């Protein structure tokens, strides 16, 4: 591996920790804390997203997403039970005084402001409206609640808040068309979407591939090392000097890794904008190209051994194999095409391919040498996740991690350091996503477990890898459960994954009497030939 490529991979791997967040992207951004909106008789609806499908002169047109009010009649959940009803603007527009409109079941559109939400709803109902659409004065959706001193809450029509841009579109429709109608309904989101199952399998499969590649490489290096020992070669290459392209994390670098990621996360939060996301896309493409190239070269070298072993010197890059030169253009074109078409519905496929290749490559390059370093790294990441998802709300008045993950203020649909799959059977659409850190960080420990098992000649049942893998899968599964119980609010996945994975490793090691070896050396002791005394091995 040339030094330039190696440096780029390491730089990008230090930023992967930024998105150790498991969340679901939904249609519509709702602001207003539920605990500031207590329920009371006549004002006890759950907040739900509402679809507002429009028709112009009988032809289906735009669909908008709003949020239902705490008060008023509940909105039907099935589209077939929702009626198409004419849309009209209120007169006066704010509906703070009795309407001059003489309505007969129309859906009335009013502007936010100048009086309470319930006053607008009561005036609209008194004028004969069948539903109320309130246009917000901002782009976000706001949860409409009742004031503590309100008593006139016997409202029998549904009320829905729409964002400002939806109001502008509706006004244009009504100005240019003779007949505009709408249909209001709130379909229920499925408890589990098949996308979450595929994402779970994708995370498991990525760690499996990376762990077996890492363990195979470690075993090949150990076999070669033992062969050199048996031949009594005086000078044996040191496999820990970076020549093999492997970097081992130590305790200090594990702590610094998390501190660096925290600083970079704050920079992202403060500088989040369109151009900054574009810069991240470029960085991601560079890492994705390197990862995809590394994986393809390793795979194809089995069939094109000569091309993999023959090298040519390239200015500024050093010696590069012919196979790498042949694969690189494909990887570059793939990444560029993804960057150009990343806003399209199919772009998630390219993002996942580049992301998985990058994660596998980083897990191949970066190693945890022992359980001590793995414990420090995952414990710091555990605290990092909790702090930036939950505690940061106290300091920044919003969750820094979730704001960065969504790409707020950037005009983009989140930043690219995520694996994502479209929610296939969710009527609200959106994506199920998982941060790279939720795979990479536990993957470092799991790959270490498999390397130890292979070097110690342990079976699948008596080793540590299978149990660490099962623990990771359960931890990620609990994350999905917590996400659904929290009504889709972002959850720090490492809050659940780290206790399962790390706890299982430490408990098993203590029970089997391997804790000291795993904690300090990280690999089984190998006996030296009697005629050779070298540092890497020791006598039993």
Task: Write out pLDDT tens, residues 110-122.
Answer: 998 888 888 899 9
Mean of the pLDDT values across residues 262-275? 82
Say what the pLDDT of residue 538 is.
47
The burial of 253, by beta-carbon neighbours within 10 Å (0-12 exposed, 13-18 middle, 19 or more buried), is given as middle
* pLDDT tops 60 at residue 10: no
What does the pLDDT read at residue 229?
Answer: 66
What's the Cα-to-Cα distance from 234 to each of 237, 242, 528, 531, rounded to whole Å? 10, 20, 13, 11
Residue with more model confidence, 221 or 105: 105
Q: State how far the Cα of 152 lies from the Cα of 449, in Å rounded to an integer.
A: 64
Residue 539, pLDDT score: 42
The answer to whether the CB of 211 falls within 8 A of the CB of 330 is no
> In 10 A of CB 249, how many CB atoms?
19
139-179: pLDDT as tens digits: 777 788 887 777 778 889 999 999 888 888 888 888 886 78
- Rounded Cα gap, residues 182 and 107, in angstroms: 8
The mean-pLDDT minimum among 83-92, 205-214, 220-229, 270-279 falls in 220-229
Mean pLDDT of 500-506: 94
Alpha helix positions (H), 95-193: 117-126, 164-176
CB 180 within 8 A of CB 55: yes
Q: At what angle do helices 436-455 and 347-365 cross, to 10 degrees?
A: 40
- pLDDT category, 476, cuts 50, 70, 90? very high
From residue 148, alpha-carbon distances to 45, 112, 145, 199, 443 in Å are: 16, 20, 9, 44, 51
pLDDT, position 240: 44
Instruction: Band the pLDDT of 33: cuts 50, 70, 90.
Output: very low
Task: Report the Cα 477 to chain-centroid distance in Å.
Answer: 15
- Per-residue confidence (pLDDT) for residue 264, from 0 to 100: 82
Q: Which two tokens stand for residue 229?
A: 């020992």
**Is this structure's pTM higher than 0.85?**
no
Least confident of 236-245, 303-312, 327-336, 511-520: 236-245
The CA radius of gyration of the chain, in Å to the nearest whole number, is: 29
Instruction: Give CA–CA dist 110/121, Å, rounded.
Output: 10
Q: What is the mean pLDDT of the chain?
A: 82
Per-residue confidence (pLDDT) for residue 247, from 0 to 100: 82
pLDDT at 332: 95
| CA dist., res. 137 & res. 156, Å (int) | 25
404-454 per-position pLDDT tens digit:
777 666 556 667 888 999 988 888 888 888 888 899 999 999 999 999 999
Find out whether 436 and 197 touch, Cβ atoms under 8 Å: no
Is residue 23 within 8 Å of residue 490, measured between CB atoms? yes
Task: Kindly tell me if the per-residue pLDDT of 126 is higher than 70.
Answer: yes
**pLDDT attached to residue 339:** 93
Percent of the chain with pLDDT over 70: 83
What is the DSSP-derived secondary structure letter of residue 273? Answer: S
Residues belonging to the chain: 540
The pLDDT, as a whole number, for residue 219 is: 83
Give pLDDT, residue 46.
82
Range name among 164-168, 213-217, 235-239, 338-342 with the lowest pLDDT average = 235-239
In order of 32, 167, 196, the CA distances from 135 in angstroms are 16, 6, 34
**What's the whole-number mean pLDDT along residues 265-291?**
85
Q: What is the pLDDT of residue 308?
A: 81
Would you please indicate which residues are annotated as catalytic (active-site) residues? Answer: 385, 438
Burial code of 428-448, b = ≥16 C-beta within 10 A, e = fewer?
bebbbbbbbbbbbbbbbbbbb
Instruction: Give backbone dihedrals phi and psi of 314, rounded to 5 degrees, phi first.
Output: -115, 130
One-character DSSP codes across 230-265: HTT-S----TTSSTTS-EE--HHHHHHHHHHHHHHH
User: Which pLDDT value is given to residue 453?
Assistant: 92
Query: What are the phi and psi torsion angles at 427 (to 5°)?
Result: -60, -20
Distance CA 408, CA 398 (A): 11
Question: What is the three-class DSSP state of 126?
Answer: helix
Please list the alpha-helical segments (H only) found in 301-399.
305-309, 322-340, 347-365, 371-386, 392-396
Q: Tokens for 44?
A: 């006890």
- Rounded Cα distance between 73 and 75, Å, is 6
Which residues, at least 6 apart from 111, have a Cβ–Cβ distance to it below 8 Å? 93, 94, 95, 134, 135, 137, 167
Identify the pLDDT of residue 503: 94
Q: Cα separation of 115 and 134, whole Å?
A: 12
User: What is the pLDDT averaged over residues 383-388?
Assistant: 88
- Decide if 460 contacts 184 (C-beta within 8 A): no
Please tell me the distance from the alpha carbon of residue 381 to that of residue 256, in angstroms, as a whole number.
11
Average pLDDT of the residues in 46-58: 87
Percent of the chain having pLDDT more than 90?
28
Q: Which residues contact 6 (CB under 8 A, 6 or more apart)?
A: 245, 365
For residue 500, name the pLDDT band (cuts at 50, 70, 90).
Answer: very high
Domains contained in the chain, CATH given: 41-185 (3.50.30.30), 194-230+245-521 (no CATH)
């Amino acid at each position: 591996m040339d030094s330039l490529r190696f440096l780029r991979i390491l730089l990008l791997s230090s930023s992967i920790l930024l998105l150790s967040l498991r969340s679901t992207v939904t249609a519509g951004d709702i602001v207003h804390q539920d605990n500031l909106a207590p329920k009371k008789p006549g004002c006890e609806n759950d907040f739900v997203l509402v679809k507002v499908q429009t028709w112009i002169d009988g032809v289906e047109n735009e669909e908008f997403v709003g949020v239902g009010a705490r008060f008023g009649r509940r909105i039907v959940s099935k589209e077939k039970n929702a009626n198409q009803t004419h849309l009209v603007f209120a007169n006066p527009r704010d509906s703070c005084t009795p309407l001059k409109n003489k309505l007969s079941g129309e859906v009335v559109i009013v502007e936010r402001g100048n009086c309470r939400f319930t006053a607008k709803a009561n005036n609209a109902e008194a004028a004969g409206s069948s539903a109320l659409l309130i246009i917000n004065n901002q782009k976000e959706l706001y949860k409409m609640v009742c004031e503590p001193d309100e008593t006139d809450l016997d409202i029998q029509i549904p009320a829905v808040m729409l964002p400002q841009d939806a109001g502008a579109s509706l006004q244009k429709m009504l100005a240019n068309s003779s007949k505009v109608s709408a249909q209001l309904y709130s379909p229920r989101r499925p408890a589990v979407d098949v996308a979450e199952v595929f994402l779970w399998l994708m995370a498991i499969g990525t760690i499996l591939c990376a762990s077996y590649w890492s363990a195979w490489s470690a075993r090949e290096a150990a076999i070669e090392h033992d062969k050199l020992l048996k031949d009594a070669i005086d000078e044996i290459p040191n496999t820990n000097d970076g020549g093999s392209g492997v970097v081992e994390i130590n305790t200090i670098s594990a702590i610094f890794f998390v501190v660096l990621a925290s600083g970079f996360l704050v920079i992202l939060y403060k500088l989040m904008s369109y151009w900054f996301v574009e810069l991240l896309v470029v960085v991601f493409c560079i890492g994705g190209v390197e990862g995809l190239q590394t994986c393809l070269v390793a795979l194809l070298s089995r069939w094109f051994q000569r091309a993999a072993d023959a090298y040519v010197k390239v200015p500024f890059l050093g010696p590069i194999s012919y196979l790498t030169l042949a694969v690189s253009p494909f990887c570059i074109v793939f990444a560029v095409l993804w960057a150009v078409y990343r806003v399209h519905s199919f772009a998630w496929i390219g993002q996942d391919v580049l992301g998985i290749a990058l994660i596998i490559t980083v897990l191949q390059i970066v190693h945890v040498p022992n359980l001590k370093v793995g414990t420090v790294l995952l414990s710091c990441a555990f605290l990092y996740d909790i702090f930036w998802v939950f505690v940061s709300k106290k300091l920044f008045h919003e969750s820094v991690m979730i704001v960065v993950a969504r790409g707020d203020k950037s005009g983009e649909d989140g930043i690219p350091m995520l694996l994502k799959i479209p929610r296939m059977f969710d009527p609200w659409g959106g994506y199920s996503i998982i941060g790279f850190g939720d795979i990479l960080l536990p993957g470092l420990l799991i790959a270490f477990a498999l390397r130890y098992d292979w070097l110690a000649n342990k079976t699948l049942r008596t080793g540590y890898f299978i149990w660490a893998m099962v623990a990771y899968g359960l931890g990620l599964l609990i994350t999905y459960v917590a996400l659904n119980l929290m009504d889709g609010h972002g959850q720090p996945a490492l809050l659940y994954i780290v206790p399962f994975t790390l706890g299982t490793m430490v408990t098993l090691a203590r029970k089997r009497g391997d804790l000291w070896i795993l904690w300090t050396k990280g690999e089984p002791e190998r006996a030296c030939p009697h005629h050779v005394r070298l540092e890497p091995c020791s006598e039993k």
